[in-house]
Copies of this chain bind each other. A is one copy, B any other.
Amino acid sequence: MDFRFTPEQEQLRQDIRRFLDEHVSAELRAEIATSAHTPGPLARCFLRLLGERGWLGIGWPTEYGGQGRTMLEQMIFYDELDLRDIHYGGLTITSLAMTLMKLASEEQKRTYLPRILRGELEICLGYTEPGAGSDLASLITRAERDRDDYVITGQKVFTTGAHYSSHIWLLARTDPGLPRHKGLSVFIFPLDSPGITVRPLYTMGRIRTNEVFLDHVRVPASAMIGAPNSGFHTVAVALDFERIFMGKYARLRRNFSDLVACCRKLSRNGRTLLEDPVVQDRLVGLHIAIERLRLLCFKSAWKVDRGQVPTAEASAQKVLASELEQRLADEGMKILGPCGQLESGSPHAPMEGRLVDAWLLAPMMRFGGGTNEIQRDIIAQRGLGLPRA
């Protein structure tokens, strides 16, 4: 047993850090600080730089131009980017591209993979609809066959990234005659296709998401991933790639460390916050919880590298990370006292308002990406083999 990274892995981390130190400019940092999770021009530019230097393919097989690195190495890479809030294309790289490799036609692979690898192409997920959230199989967006095309009409919501992505990965009903989850197919096509309207949805957590209206959008049959009516399978494959990245610990650890540093610096009534035994006690509780999450992340990545699918681990990661995010933000603000409520940019704001940002975003972490209730169902049923109700 060994919980350490290898010297090579540690070297990789140093390489990434050095690369980021060199190339993340003060201007980019400033843009990130105010971008509310929407990559700005400098972030888009940096994405292409990541592509140029081959970093985007860190986890891709070499046959697709990737570095073919292990999941642990990918984890190191994404952690380092997360620590600086660098946009790297998210699930375009980590999930959808991998799904394309597995399920797409040769032509689709040729069309999309090289451009994704260069950081030129980003894809958003078009799953959720007003009436289909947790219960995706109830979606009603229709894709009707018309000779060599499909004509798609419907509405998607919470389509995060639709305003800066170039493509959409859309789940639609291709055969209403089949049972709910059997008549669905996945399509990939450009967001500037005629008939698509993207409207912003702003959220409490500052992050922008979107509604996407599809009005007789005509896409070639070749836009379909896999066979007709295999959409639920395609989504499941994508999710297996995605899930391991859903509950991450790097930013939580950073926020916690920043909180501790802040408690060491700020004082109250003649002593630093960190000297307050009650503050210490709370911080200890948070520290233990974050370490549990870190270990679970290690376990998941390690299992992937051994060819196993960390189903329960990934769901548990998502649950722990999202609930801990909320707890850290809420308890952290209490520890900091009245100034804990101040946002980035305000006088007296501690930690550049980062806990406030996390607090406002935390509800979405809990219900998004499959609610924590569904994740617990997954752990119990798929992980522990308990019977469905």
Contacts and interface: CB of A to CB of B under 8 A. Distances in A.
A12 B145 CA distance: 82
A146 interface: no
Number of this chain's copies in the complex: 2
A10 interface: no
Nearest to A284: B278
Contacts of A1: none
Interface string A241-278: 00000000000000000000000000000000000111
Interface residues of A, number: 6
A389 interface: yes
Interface in A276-291: 276-278, 280-281
A377 to B, nearest CB: 13
Contacts of A281: 278, 281
- Most chain B CB neighbours (cut-off 10 Å) among A276, A278, A280, A389: A278
A389 B280 CA distance: 44
A276 B278 CA distance: 9
Contacts of A276: 277
Contacts of A278: 277-278, 280-281
A287 to B, nearest CB: 15
A276 B280 CA distance: 13
A222 B277 CA distance: 67
Contacts of A389: 389
Interface in A293-316: none
Nearest to A277: B277
A277 to B, nearest CB: 5
A298 B140 CA distance: 51
A205 B30 CA distance: 61
Contacts of A277: 276-278
Contacts of A280: 278
Nearest to A281: B278
A278 B277 CA distance: 6
A280 B281 CA distance: 12
A276 B389 CA distance: 48
A361 B67 CA distance: 59
A280 B280 CA distance: 14
A278 B278 CA distance: 5
A278 B285 CA distance: 13
Interface in A359-389: 389
A314 to B, nearest CB: 27
A273 B276 CA distance: 16
A303 to B, nearest CB: 32
A280 to B, nearest CB: 8
A278 to B, nearest CB: 5
A278 B389 CA distance: 43
A353 B278 CA distance: 28
A236 to B, nearest CB: 25
Nearest to A282: B281
A46 B197 CA distance: 81
8 contacts: A276-B277, A277-B277, A277-B278, A278-B278, A278-B280, A278-B281, A281-B281, A389-B389
Interface of A: 276-278, 280-281, 389
Given A278-B278, A281-B281, 6 more contacts: A276-B277, A277-B277, A277-B278, A278-B280, A278-B281, A389-B389
Which 4 interchain pairs have the tightest Cβ spacing? A277-B277, A278-B281, A277-B278, A278-B278
